[in-house]
């Protein structure tokens, strides 16, 4: 009976619910088997032996039950601990900037591992270990001036270098040999962070008072496994961000160089064209004077030569004027202001009145909007397109139609004609300076007109293109960004 009383005290102290005690007792009876159970019927005669037997079996089951509960509680506590650590680390990864994130993660790990010192680093794009975070006193004693410490792969050594290279966990509870001035290391545990079979980082802890055991290894490996995909995403994001910044810097430098080059080119074109005009004007004047005084007094060849020289000088002067106009588009333009395209078209038709009458051209248009533009350059743009439509006509009098429509955040203006058309293979070529598809004897001009149109459109933040087929006319289209207050009358 003393054993039963002791068992009862153990059950009470263990705070086992009554229903569980009943289950244990029933289990003990089952352990007796049928033969022993029949003895219960004769309990008055053999009660003491039966009680002792029940006590023995019940005690055995109770202790097994206690061990099982202890194991389950240990697993539960470990799981809860791991979950708490994972949540803390996930919060750090999601909320803390890169320059602070590694230190915050290391703080969580050191607390979980009950370790005084540690390191958390990643493998950079060069394959070297970058240790953003070490315990503060390690930095001080080693006199490391910069948070970002890079260890080239060829210099990897010691326990952490082997762990990274061999991709496996290593630890030692024996004191380490360290360089002079380094913090003493009594024990250390190193776990590589593995993602898709490759080492992408390392977690290192050191100087735990009791040393490291299998439970510490399991816990740090679990942390490393949970960190791996998040760390990999963070590394990739950092690499993409770095590449983006480098690309932006290259782009900024390229744009700056291009702007400077364009400015220099525009200045050069202006100076050259301006300085060439005076001597060219003198040559043209004297050649015209020769033609007036000596025409018919010399032989026919001399008259032809003088005529060629006068015509050449005239064409050169026109070319220089066009080049001067082209160079001024970006530097001599007026601010954009509300410009009524109906008024612009009226002025263009007035300028081209004789050309339209001589060619028998018919110019029609849909209602046109008021848009934000440099009015003078808008006149240059549309007049060039209409003049080209008249110039490159077929045998019949040309028909030209101007229309405009708003598409989302821009106005699209079109100038359609019934002229000779353009081969699609020449679409890009026609917008370049001095590019001609026909000889000057077929169609006069300098080859700057459409290049001038393109530059005006681009200055306004738009684009220009053409739709055409040989013998079926052409439609030139350009866009101007829409602004508040734009619209039709």
Q: How far is CA 456 from CA 76, 193, 373, 447, in A?
A: 74, 58, 10, 16
CATH of the domain at 262: 1.10.287.130
Q: For 293-297, which contacts have Cβ atoms below 8 Å and span 24 or more sequence positions?
A: none
Q: Are residues 48 and 123 in the same domain?
A: no
What CATH number has the domain bearing residue 118?
A: 3.30.450.40
The answer on 307 and 342 residing in a single domain is no
pLDDT one-digit tens code per residue, 319-355: 777 767 776 776 667 788 999 999 999 999 998 898 8
CA distance 70 to 333: 86
Distances (CA, A) of 216 to 63, 109, 165, 206, 219: 28, 11, 21, 12, 5
pLDDT of amino acid 104: 82
Find where tokens 């089952």 sit.
Answer: 30
Among 63, 66, 57, smallest CA distance to 25 is for 57
Is residue 93 in some structural domain? no
Q: Would 281 be classed as within a structural domain?
A: yes
**201 forms bridges with which residues in the sheet?**
122, 193
CA distance linking residue 378 with residue 457, whole number of Å? 9
The residue ranges of the chain whose pLDDT is under 50 are 1, 4-5, 7, 9, 11-14, 32, 34-47, 49-50, 53, 57, 144-147
Q: Do 144 and 66 sit in the same domain of this protein? A: no
Examine residue 49 and state whether it is found in any structural domain, yes or no.
Answer: yes
Residues 238 and 259 in one domain: no
Considering the domain architecture, whether residues 220 and 355 belong to the same structural domain is answered as no
Q: Which domain-ending residue is among 244, 279, 307?
A: 244
Of 361, 389, 381, 388, nearest to 447 by C-alpha is 388
Q: Could you tell me the CATH number of the domain that includes residue 429?
A: 3.30.565.10
What is the distance between the alpha carbons of residues 143 and 130, in angstroms, rounded to a whole number? 17
Please tell me whether residues 351 and 410 are part of one structural domain.
yes
Secondary structure tally for the chain: helices H, strands E: 12, 14
Please give the structure tokens belonging to residue 336. 């954009």
Q: Is residue 219 part of a domain?
A: yes
3-state SS assignment for residue 448:
coil
323, two tokens: 């080049």
User: Does residue 216 fall inside a structural domain?
Assistant: yes
Q: CA-to-CA distance for 123 and 274, rounded, in angstroms?
A: 61
- For residue 66, the model assigns a pLDDT of 61
Domain end position, chosen among 49, 65, 88: 88
In the chain, % helix, strand, coil (3-state, to 5) comes to 60, 15, 25
Count of Cβ atoms closer than 10 Å to residue 210 Cβ: 9
Are 70 and 191 contained in the same domain? no
Query: What residues have CB less than 8 Å from 181, skipping those under 6 apart?
Result: 141, 142, 143
Identify whether residues 192 and 136 lie together within a single domain.
yes
- For residue 484, what are its two tokens? 């508040």
From residue 177, give the alpha-carbon distance in Å to each of 137, 143, 180, 185. Answer: 18, 18, 9, 8
Nearest-5° Cα angle at 479, 475 to 480: 145
Task: Provide the residue range defining the domain that includes 37.
Answer: 2-88
Per-residue pLDDT, 205: 92
Give the whole-angstrom CA distance, residue 122 versus residue 98. 12
Residues 372 and 338 sit within 8 Å (Cβ to Cβ) = yes
CA 276 – CA 260 distance, rounded (Å) = 24
Distance between CA atoms of 422 and 399, rounded to whole angstroms? 16
| Domain end call among 244, 279, 310 | 244
Q: How far apart are CA 175 and CA 213, in angstroms?
A: 16
Model confidence, pTM: 0.45
Tell how far CA 238 is from the center of its chain. Answer: 11
- 231 plus 107 within the same structural domain: yes
Shared domain check, 267 and 239: no
Nearest to 213 by CA among 205, 202, 201: 205
Residues 122 and 238 in one domain: yes
Same domain, 80 and 36: yes
d(CA 252, CA 212): 53
**Secondary structure class of 96 (helix, strand, coil):** coil
When divided into structural domains, the chain yields a total of 4
């Amino acid at each position: 009976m003393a054993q039963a009383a002791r068992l009862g005290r153990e059950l009470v102290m263990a705070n086992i619910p009554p229903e569980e005690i009943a289950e244990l007792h029933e289990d003990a009876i089952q352990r007796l088997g049928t033969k022993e159970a029949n003895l219960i019927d004769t309990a008055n005669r053999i009660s003491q032996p039966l009680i002792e037997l029940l006590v023995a079996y019940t005690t055995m089951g109770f202790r097994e039950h206690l061990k099982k509960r202890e194991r389950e509680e240990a697993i539960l506590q470990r799981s809860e601990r791991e979950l708490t650590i994972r949540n803390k680390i996930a919060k750090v990864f999601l909320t803390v900037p890169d320059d602070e994130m590694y230190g915050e993660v290391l703080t969580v790990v050191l607390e979980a591992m009950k370790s005084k010192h540690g390191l958390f680093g990643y493998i950079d794009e060069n394959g070297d270990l970058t240790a953003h975070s070490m315990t503060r006193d390690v930095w001080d004693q080693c006199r490391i001036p910069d948070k970002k410490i890079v260890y080239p792969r060829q210099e990897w050594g010691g326990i952490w270098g082997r762990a990274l290279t061999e991709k496996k966990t290593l630890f030692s509870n024996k004191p380490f040999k360290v360089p002079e001035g380094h913090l003493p290391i009594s024990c250390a545990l190193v776990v590589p962070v593995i993602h898709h079979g490759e080492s992408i980082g390392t977690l290192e802890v050191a100087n735990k008072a009791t040393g490291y055991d299998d439970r510490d290894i399991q816990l740090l490996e679990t942390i490393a496994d949970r960190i791996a995909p998040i760390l990999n995403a963070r590394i990739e994001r950092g690499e993409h961000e770095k590449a983006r910044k480098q690309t932006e810097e290259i782009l900024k430098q390229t744009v700056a160089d291009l702007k400077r080059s364009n400015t220099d080119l525009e200045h050069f074109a202006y100076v050259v064209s301006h300085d060439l005009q005076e001597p060219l004007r003198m040559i043209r004047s004297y050649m015209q004077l020769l033609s007036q005084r000596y025409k018919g007094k010399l032989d026919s060849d001399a008259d032809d030569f003088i005529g060629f020289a006068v015509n050449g000088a005239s064409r050169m002067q026109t070319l220089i004027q066009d080049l001067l106009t082209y160079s001024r588009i970006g530097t001599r333009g007026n601010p954009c202001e509300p410009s009524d395209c109906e008024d612009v078209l009226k002025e263009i038709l007035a300028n081209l009145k004789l050309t339209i009458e001589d060619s028998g051209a018919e110019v029609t248009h849909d209602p046109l909007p008021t848009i934000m533009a440099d009015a003078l350059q808008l006149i240059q743009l549309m007049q060039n397109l209409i003049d080209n439509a008249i110039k490159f006509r077929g045998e019949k009098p040309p028909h030209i139609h101007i229309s405009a429509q708003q598409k989302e955040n821009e106005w699209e203006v079109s100038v359609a004609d019934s002229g000779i058309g353009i081969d699609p293979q020449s679409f890009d070529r026609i917008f370049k300076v001095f590019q001609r598809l026909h000889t000057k004897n077929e169609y006069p001009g300098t080859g700057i007109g459409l290049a001038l149109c393109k530059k005006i459109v681009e200055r306004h933040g738009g684009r220009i293109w053409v739709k055409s087929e040989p013998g079926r006319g052409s439609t030139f289209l350009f866009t101007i960004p829409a602004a508040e207050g734009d619209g039709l009358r």
